[in-house]
Every structure is written in structure tokens, then in C-alpha cells.
């Protein structure tokens, strides 16, 4: 006497219902607010912000690794040139 299971899959973070998409940051399913236009990539503003921060950190790490691979020093970026006209009344420091 075996009965076949007639249960439907649980509706949770692993199940997508019709019209839902997954957040690219947290993976939670959500329904886009509008039917027209570009589909949102994130379910909340906080997920969008965390993804932005992760991209920025990744870019900084990649730049540091590239600089290290080329034999440069981290933090050895050249100082921006300042025009003398912007330094009115400021004396140039004596180095020696």
C-alpha cells in the first residue's frame, strides 16, 4: 500500500513562482514591480548597495594585484599636480 506523494514543492527561496526573478545579490525570489521596462536585478535597495560595494572592492583588489604583479608599490600613485595659481600666498616647502 504505497501512496504517491501529491505535495507541491514548498514556496521558499528555492522555488520560483510564475513571473518571479531572483535577486542577483541575495538570491531571494521577487516579483518585479512593473510589467514593462528593464527588469530589476535586485530585490531591495540594500541588495543593490551591497552589490555596488562588492564591485568597488573587487575593482580595488584587482588594481592592487595588477600593480603588485607589475612590481609597483601599493599606495605609490603619483600626487596630482597643483597649479601655482591655486597656491597664492602658500610658500613651497623646503625639502633640503
- Note the pLDDT of residue 32: 92
Q: Under a CB-based contact definition with an 8 Å cutoff, are residues 47 and 55 in contact?
A: no
Residues 11/12/18/19 CA torsion (nearest 10 deg): 150
- Note the pLDDT of residue 14: 65
Q: Where are the domains of the chain?
A: 21-72
- Average pLDDT of adjacent 10-residue blocks, the chain of 96 residues: 47 73 95 90 96 95 89 58 52 57
- Note the pLDDT of residue 59: 93
Q: Tell me the whole-structure pTM to 2 decimals.
A: 0.55
Amino acid at each position: 500500500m504505497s501512496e504517491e506523494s501529491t505535495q507541491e514543492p514548498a514556496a521558499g527561496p528555492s522555488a520560483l513562482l510564475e513571473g518571479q526573478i531572483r535577486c542577483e545579490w541575495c538570491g531571494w525570489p521577487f516579483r518585479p514591480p512593473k510589467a514593462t521596462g528593464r527588469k530589476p536585478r535586485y530585490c531591495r535597495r540594500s541588495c543593490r548597495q551591497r552589490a555596488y560595494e562588492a564591485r568597488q572592492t573587487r575593482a580595488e583588489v584587482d588594481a592592487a594585484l595588477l600593480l603588485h604583479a607589475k612590481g609597483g608599490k601599493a599606495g605609490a600613485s603619483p600626487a596630482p599636480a597643483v597649479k601655482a595659481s591655486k597656491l597664492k600666498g602658500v610658500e613651497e616647502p623646503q625639502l633640503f
